[in-house]
Amino acid sequence: MKTQALLYYIGAFIFGGLGLMTFLQLEKASYKVEAGTFIIAASLIYYGMVTLYYKSSKNTFLLVNLILAVLALGGIFFNGALFGSH
């Protein structure tokens, strides 16, 4: 089995389990939609990054990884300003 296919299967197992857990444990429909949206977005990023790693140059993959890391750090520090605080 190729490594790329193995990574796709691992991702399907992880995100499928997250989706199943979300719909079994959450009660309100709005929470399910919010969690489902996050899981779908995360899975698209995961599969996009795996595909990008194998189909493009390594420099492009590293640049996209760097951009995602900067956005994640910005989201941590500016969460209150972006989404409001409690």
Instruction: Find out whether 39 and 23 touch, Cβ atoms under 8 Å.
Output: no
pLDDT at 30: 87
pLDDT at 86: 63
pLDDT digits (tens, 9 = 90+) for 19-77: 999 999 998 998 899 999 999 999 999 999 999 999 988 899 999 999 999 999 998 88
Q: Give how far the C-alpha of residue 4 lies from the chain's centroid of Cα atoms, to the nearest Å.
A: 17
Dihedral of CA atoms 73, 78, 83, 86 in degrees, nearest 10, equals: 110
